[in-house]
Amino acid sequence: GSASSSPSFGDRVSNLFIGKPAPLWPNQKPPGEAGAAAQEIDCPTVEIRPGASTFAVSAPGSDASALNLRYQASFGQTARECKLTGTSVTIKVGIEGRVVLGPAGAPGQAEIPIRYAVVQEGPEPKTILTKLHWQSVTIPPGEVNVPFTQIEEELTFQMPRGDALDAYVVYIGYDRAAVKEPEKKKPVKKPAPVARRAN
């Protein structure tokens, strides 16, 4: 393809899933420029947290049984890419997953909590950062199996000393304990005073 058209991150993630190597960050410096060597870091692997690979929602007020299942989400493939900026490592993670409608399900919105965690593994694992993302998946009428793609643009942390990054793992999982905060009516932010005149 031509270098002039920069594919969207989603397209690049699709390419990653298909197995084509494609840079998630366009406009990277060509090798030879200052700082290019520092960009080549081993990217922590992405793993699905054991026991958190599916997320099932049952009809309200009923026992969680197969017949009362409204929908269940699961993970498919993942892709990731890292870059080093100064001393900060930023990991981009792309996830493909799907939502399957259950017997008690109906078309509508499925709200799915996805938890990202960067962990330094070892005798005493250390959580470096964690981030919760609510993924809204629209289940159209007549559909029982809806794929989704989620892209976490920015898991950023300080580059650890030595080869400690080798022990880092990015875990993804559905966070069953997550509670979706009701959308609070945010106070309308007043526009910033237009005191700065364009000179």
Residue among 95, 79, 105, 184 nearest 135 (CA): 95
Residue among 90, 79, 71, 100 nearest 28 (CA): 90
Which pair of tokens denotes residue 117? 């965690």
| Nearby residues of 136 by Cβ (< 8 Å), 6 or more positions away | 109, 110, 111, 112
CA 30 to chain centre: 27
State the pTM of this model: 0.73
Strand ranges of the sheet holding 54-58, from the earlier edge strand across to the other edge:
54-58, 69-85, 88-101, 145-158
Question: For every one of its 199 residues, what pLDDT tens digit does the chain have, with 9 covering 90 and above?
Answer: 544 445 565 666 666 555 544 445 444 444 434 444 445 678 999 999 999 999 999 988 767 677 899 999 999 999 999 999 899 999 999 999 999 999 999 999 999 999 999 999 999 999 999 999 999 999 999 999 999 999 998 999 999 988 899 999 999 999 988 887 766 666 666 666 666 555 5
Helix (H, G, I), strand (E, B) or coil at 128: strand
